[in-house]
A and B are shown apart, each in its own frame.
Chain A
Amino acid sequence: MSGGVDSSVAAALLADAGHDVVGATLKLWGGDSDSGCCSVSDVDDARRVADQIGIAHHVFNFTDDFDASVVAPYVAAHAAGRTPNPCIECNRHIKFGTLLERARRLGFDALATGHHARVDGVARVDGGARVDGGARADGGARADGGAQGRRLLRGADRAKDQSYVLSMLAQAELAQVLLPVGALTKAEVRAHAAGLGLRTAFKPDSQDVCFIHSTAGRRGFLGDRLPLHPGEIVDADSGDVVGTVPAVELVTVGQRRGLGVAVDGRRLYALDVDVDARRILVGHADAARADHVAVCRPTWIDRPLDSGARVLGQTSAHGRAAPCTWRGDAVVFDEPVPLVAPGQTVALYDMDDTDVVAGSVLAA
């Protein structure tokens, strides 16, 4: 329970359905932050909502884990010129890692969150993403040894769908994950909260990375934790130096805004970030597209796809999923897509754009 409306309603729906529910708020960040799920007033909101719906509430201190498995890798990735998605890493390591393990030890049957996505109990075998409709690629892919798999689907409210940041889940987690608000629109969630008189009913959505202070920003956060180096901006076509940036570590591949350079009256995009050489390679919009992304260690919702499978690939939390072909170590798009920075995630969906099939961090 982050203290937001979605997890408030998730808890209320489960309690109302007769489950024995206990609320938990994670203290993830000890540092200075004014957004996300770690501020004292958010914890107070979660506790008060738990009181309102009549469930126990606990605060779990996962700051050490969060620092080690989310913040430190985030800083290290930027130092190497990559741009990771810390929310996905938090979901992977903390919410559906450390917290799920704790829930199991404490004897809970399931972990519920307020994410807008749906978990469906029946495996999908009728075409769609699965080209073979049958045998698993290997015997060890599923933790449950062959029981019917669970599906992870987009949330009912497509504008609020968060399945992208859950694309790192697999059967081992999904077997014990409940996403009660995924079947509702955001408006329905707020209406339900208002109907119950929950104090979080009209609380604004959180938008930012929870550990980064909105005024100091990413620059302030990273600047305190790693040396930032100025670099030159090089035009990929001409090889000319066309500008400078104050910190190469803060430039993201695919970025246009903030570079402040244009050639022939057209704004340029970052094509490559070379931290060691202190160099940003830039080019025009057509150069800032790629027809494939290289992936490493994908996680599969159910079983791995065979190379050649047709899927939809989504490369940002609220981006559009585009038709592509799975090639084992890469996703090849039918039409070139805007460049995606190394460290970002591609989520694969079935051709109906409903089921998550896999998630993978992009290789450098």
Chain B
Amino acid sequence: MAIYLDHASTTPMRPEALAAMLPYLTEHFGNPSGSHSVARAARLAIDEARDDVAESLGCEPGEIVFTGSGTESDNLAVLGAHAARGGSVVCSAVEHHAVLLACRALGGTTVAVDQAGVVDLEALSEALHRGVGVVSVMLANNEVGTIQPLAEVVALVRDRAPEAVVHTDAIAAVPWLDIASAARGADLVSVSAHKFGGPKGVGVLVVRAETRLGPVLHGGAQEHGRRPGTHDVAGIVGTAAALTAAVAGRAREVPRVRALRDRLADGLLAAIDGVTETGSADGHGDRGGKVAGSCHLLVSGVDQEELLLLADDAGVNASAGAACASGALEPSHVLLALGLGVAEARTAVRFSLGPTTTEADIDGALALIPKVVEQLRR
């Protein structure tokens, strides 16, 4: 059994989610947009799921829009807000491509980050003006784990661009942060189910009651017309069950995973020469600015493709950067934004922990990864 340290990519489905979904893949097959009894059973499941998700995210049920993925949520937020509001678009340089490329498609501008990946508030302030319509800054970065000062971002936007809509991509943050408080000020919040033990293919966009969205997809009246298309009933039910379980377990899970992550990061830093930590880590064990499950390292002189291949052979699943259409790794735009060169960016590897990570997994990784690096440097 492989040691799975790629939870930021996706994490195993929670048993609660699978159990909740099964009836909606079998007996309760109805289309929730219908009116007869079979349809009503599906409709009820969506309504209850919406209530549960709203409670977990600290918003009203009417503010929940179910989508087909985190990427779709991000696109709906940026493109939809721009369609309704107009104006120019601003996002941070370390956004996921789902936000970054949506902003770029609208001719938007990006705001620099510091070496830790924290958005430069002065640069953001300079980028903001009354003509700005949409601002998107993620809650936590998916690659290096850096948590953004969202409350300060929101305050800055309200002051400098009072008409602008604020979107936050909370996809990488949900397992670790209380979204209800951490994303409180944002008008639009993206969430992806499979990052917290729900099924793949379901996203959520929180749309605050007063926030208008223009259409991105055209079709039926589902989700009040904000996201037409027949509901993925089982997926939505599984999303709600997984999110409820994730939120209920968070107070216990975060410190447990953080301790494992610190042991992994400290252990690898001690065992391998020439390793540096990225993101909000001071190099002395203070990783308070990162989400608990993130361990992101640069291994000097080692190519990430080779490290990941041998780690995989040795039974450790990790990842790095983003893959292009061919599956080849490209130098991460996030790491380049942190000020690293292309060559350095190609030494990056991400270990990300989650609910199923055990002490034994960390023992195994600490035993295997230094050997892999030693072989590659020989």
B329 contacts across to A, CB distance below 8 A: 61
Q: Which of B305, B310, B326, B342 has the most CB of A within 10 A?
A: B326
Q: Contact check: which of A40, A64, A102, A107 meets B326 at CB < 8 Å? A: A40
Identify the closest chain A residue to B310 (Cβ): A106
- A29–B353 alpha-carbon span in the complex (Å): 34
Contact A102 B306 (CB under 8 A): yes
Produce 1/0 per residue, B347-378, CB < 8 A to A: 00000000000000000000000000001101
Contact A107 B305 (CB under 8 A): no
Contact A60 B305 (CB under 8 A): yes
Contact B325 A60 (CB under 8 A): no
Contact B326 A25 (CB under 8 A): yes
Given known contacts A27-B324, A27-B326, A58 and B305 CB-to-CB distance under 8 angstroms: yes
Q: Is the contact region of chain A dominated by helix, strand, or loop, or is it mixed? A: mixed
A102 contacts across to B, CB distance below 8 A: 303, 306
Q: Contact check: which of A25, A64, A105 meets B306 at CB < 8 Å? A: A105
Contact B309 A106 (CB under 8 A): yes
Q: Nearest-CB distance from A66 to chain B (Å)? A: 12
B330 close to A (CB within 8 Å): yes
Contact B305 A61 (CB under 8 A): yes
Q: Contact check: which of B324, B327, B376 meets A105 at CB < 8 Å? A: B376
8 Å CB interface, A303-330 against B: none
- A25–B376 alpha-carbon span in the complex (Å): 20
B105 close to A (CB within 8 Å): no
Produce 1/0 per residue, B295-309, CB < 8 A to A: 000000001011001
8 Å CB interface, B303-328 against A: 303, 305-306, 309-310, 323-328
Contact A107 B328 (CB under 8 A): no
A106 contacts across to B, CB distance below 8 A: 306, 309-310, 376
Contact B328 A27 (CB under 8 A): yes
Contact A59 B310 (CB under 8 A): no
B305 contacts across to A, CB distance below 8 A: 58, 60-61
A60 contacts across to B, CB distance below 8 A: 305, 328
A186 close to B (CB within 8 Å): no
Identify the closest chain B residue to A42 (Cβ): B326
A47 close to B (CB within 8 Å): yes
Produce 1/0 per residue, A45-67, CB < 8 A to B: 00100000000001111011000
Interface size class, chain A: 10 to 19
Q: Which of A25, A61, A102, A105 has the most CB of B within 10 A?
A: A61
- A47–B326 alpha-carbon span in the complex (Å): 10
Q: Is the contact region of chain B dominated by helix, strand, or loop, or is it mixed? A: mixed
Contact A64 B328 (CB under 8 A): no
A43 close to B (CB within 8 Å): yes
A40 contacts across to B, CB distance below 8 A: 325-326
Contact A58 B309 (CB under 8 A): yes
Q: Nearest-CB distance from B64 to chain A (Å)? A: 36
Q: Nearest-CB distance from B84 to chain A (Å)? A: 35
A234 close to B (CB within 8 Å): no
Contact B326 A105 (CB under 8 A): no
Identify the closest chain B residue to A27 (Cβ): B328
Produce 1/0 per residue, A81-108, CB < 8 A to B: 0000000000000000000001001110
A38 close to B (CB within 8 Å): yes
Q: Nearest-CB distance from B257 to chain A (Å)? A: 30
Q: Nearest-CB distance from A62 to chain B (Å)? A: 9
- A38–B330 alpha-carbon span in the complex (Å): 14
- A64–B329 alpha-carbon span in the complex (Å): 12
A58 contacts across to B, CB distance below 8 A: 305, 309
Contact B306 A61 (CB under 8 A): no
- A59–B305 alpha-carbon span in the complex (Å): 9
- A102–B346 alpha-carbon span in the complex (Å): 14
Q: Nearest-CB distance from A120 to chain B (Å)? A: 30
A38 contacts across to B, CB distance below 8 A: 326
- A61–B322 alpha-carbon span in the complex (Å): 12
- A105–B342 alpha-carbon span in the complex (Å): 21
Identify the closest chain B residue to A47 (Cβ): B327
Identify the closest chain B residue to A104 (Cβ): B378
Q: Nearest-CB distance from B150 to chain A (Å)? A: 34
A64 contacts across to B, CB distance below 8 A: 342
Contact B326 A59 (CB under 8 A): yes
B310 contacts across to A, CB distance below 8 A: 106-107
- A61–B303 alpha-carbon span in the complex (Å): 10
Given known contacts A105-B306, A105-B375, A61 and B342 CB-to-CB distance under 8 angstroms: no
8 Å CB interface, A235-286 against B: none
Identify the closest chain B residue to A60 (Cβ): B305
Q: Nearest-CB distance from A210 to chain B (Å)? A: 13
Q: Nearest-CB distance from B43 to chain A (Å)? A: 40
Identify the closest chain A residue to B302 (Cβ): A105
- A105–B373 alpha-carbon span in the complex (Å): 10
Q: Contact check: which of A43, A47, A61, A107 meets B330 at CB < 8 Å? A: A61
- A105–B324 alpha-carbon span in the complex (Å): 24
- A107–B325 alpha-carbon span in the complex (Å): 28
- A61–B378 alpha-carbon span in the complex (Å): 22
- A272–B53 alpha-carbon span in the complex (Å): 76
Contact B306 A43 (CB under 8 A): no
- A59–B306 alpha-carbon span in the complex (Å): 11
Identify the closest chain B residue to A40 (Cβ): B325
- A58–B329 alpha-carbon span in the complex (Å): 10
Q: Can you list 16 A-B contacts with CB-CB less than 8 angstroms, sorted by A residue number?
A: A40-B326, A43-B326, A58-B309, A59-B323, A59-B326, A60-B305, A61-B305, A61-B330, A63-B328, A102-B303, A102-B306, A105-B306, A105-B376, A106-B309, A106-B310, A106-B376
Can you list the 9 inter-chain pairs with the closest CB atoms, starting with the nearest?
A61-B328, A27-B328, A59-B327, A43-B326, A59-B328, A40-B325, A40-B326, A27-B326, A61-B329
Could you list 16 further interchain pairs (A-B, Cβ under 8 angstroms) beyond the known A38-B326, A43-B327?
A25-B326, A27-B328, A40-B325, A58-B309, A59-B327, A60-B328, A61-B328, A61-B329, A63-B328, A102-B306, A105-B306, A105-B375, A106-B306, A106-B310, A106-B376, A107-B310
B binding-site residues for A, Cβ under 8 Å: 303, 305-306, 309-310, 323-330, 342, 375-376, 378
